[in-house]
Amino acid sequence: MTTLQTARPPVQTGRQAVQYPTKVTIDARALFQIMSHALRRKPDQPRVIGTLVGTRSDDGNEVEVKSAYIVPIDESEDQVDINIEYHKEMFQLVRRVNPESVILGWYATSTKLDNLSALIHDFYSQEHGTYPHPAVYVTVPTTEVSDIEVRSFISSPIRLPGDVGLGNCIFLPIQNEVVYTDTDNSAMTVVNKAASSRMRNAEVFSDIANLDQTIAELIESIDKVQTYVRKVLNGKSEASVAVGKYLYRTLTLLPMLSNLTIEELYESYLENVLAVVHLTQAVKTQLELTSELTPLV
């Protein structure tokens, strides 16, 4: 009977055992880069692939993808040509900006997991890739009709006894997450605004409308909580201890202030603000005067 071996062991490379990553975090920046790379696909090209750059945790358990660059490839039926020179040069350039970056693996703009993917993965696990660490493979579906669901894989060699061929491996999915920092969120607000316009455009500025929206969101969340609490009180809904504890903690954080005190605090803050504005306006007037008067002398 033939046996099929799949393995996810710490593989021996040289003397040291190497830890396979179990989690991939992808910066929003890298995801957006990959998506814009997807637009550069030539009509005869099945997918765009490229290198993932970022950092690896000390134990090798987690990798963080910070950016990505395209690598030109030539894919045909059964073979693939990777422009290795390009890949090497580009990495050197990227490293000059972020010296701590390392190569983490590769991405493709389709979800294909075929024999050629295995060959490319093989290349990325070697000398010009992540060696001695294992490479990760991230797929972002852009050619399929589907949601943009990012998935990450590592590979595990499979082998029929007696087989020595390259490109035999199985892709094992691992946990991944796209991370939005505060900065990314503020950028995302603008992108979301553009998404809801017909021309897919939006002006970049902050305004009252923003504030309006935020207040609406706040009121909505409070309403949500209130409806839930009422339901629980009426016995219509199951009470959750976790939610209860969370709400209790949040409420105790609020300082106990009478409306009057709050009003006073508001007033005094407002007065300060107005005083500052008054001063800046005085400065501005002085500036205007100087600029108008100097040429007269």
Partner 1 sequence: MPAYPEFGTADQVELDAAAIFQITRHLHDQFPRSAGGILLGMELEGTIEVTETFPLPPSASEGDGSNLRSKAILEYQSQMIEQLKQVGSDTQIQGWYVSSSLGAIYEQSFLDNMFFYQQQNRDAVMIVHDVAMSRETSTLVLKAFRLSQQYLSARRENKFTTESLETNNLDFHDLLEELPIRVHNSCLTNLLSTQNSQQVPTLKQLEVPNRTLVENNIEDILDSIDDFNYDQNNYNYYQRQLIREKQKVHAWQQRRRAENAALEAAGKPTQSVEEWKVLFKLPEEPSRLDNLLISAQLHEYCEQIEELAAVASTNLVAPKF
User: What residues from 205 to 264 belong to the interface with partner 1 (CB under 8 A)?
Assistant: 206, 208, 210-211, 214-215, 217-218, 221
What x-and-dash track marks residues 62-81 binding partner 1 by CB under 8 A?
A: -----x--xxx---------
| Closer by beta carbon to partner 1, 239 or else 288 | 288
State the virtual CA torsion across 282, 287, 288, 293 in degrees, nearest 10. Answer: 120
Instruction: Find all residues with CB under 8 Å of 4, minimum gap 6, and list them.
Output: 158, 160
Angle at CA 220, nearest 5°, toward 215 and 225? 130
**Angstrom distances, CA of residue 276 to CA of 44, 213, 280, 281:** 62, 28, 6, 9
The answer to whether the beta carbons of residues 64 and 21 sit under 8 Å apart is no
Position 293 contacts partner 1 (CB under 8 A) = no
The minimum distance between CB 9 and partner 1, in angstroms, equals 36
Question: Of the candidates 41, 92, 98, 103, which has an alpha carbon nearest to the alpha carbon of residue 68?
Answer: 103
- Site size toward partner 1 (CB under 8 A) is 74
Q: Which of the ranges 10-18, 113-121, 200-208, 223-231 carries the binding residues for partner 1, by CB under 8 A?
A: 200-208
CA gyration radius, the chain: 28
Position 289 contacts partner 1 (CB under 8 A) = no
| Closer by beta carbon to partner 1, 54 or else 134 | 54
Q: Which of the ranges 3-11, 112-120, 131-139, 182-190 carries the binding residues for partner 1, by CB under 8 A?
A: 182-190
Q: Which of 1, 3, 14, 39 forms a contact with partner 1 (CB under 8 A)?
A: 39
**Contacts of partner 1 in 99-118 (CB under 8 A):** none
Tokens representing residue 287 in the block:
């500036």
Position 198 contacts partner 1 (CB under 8 A) = no
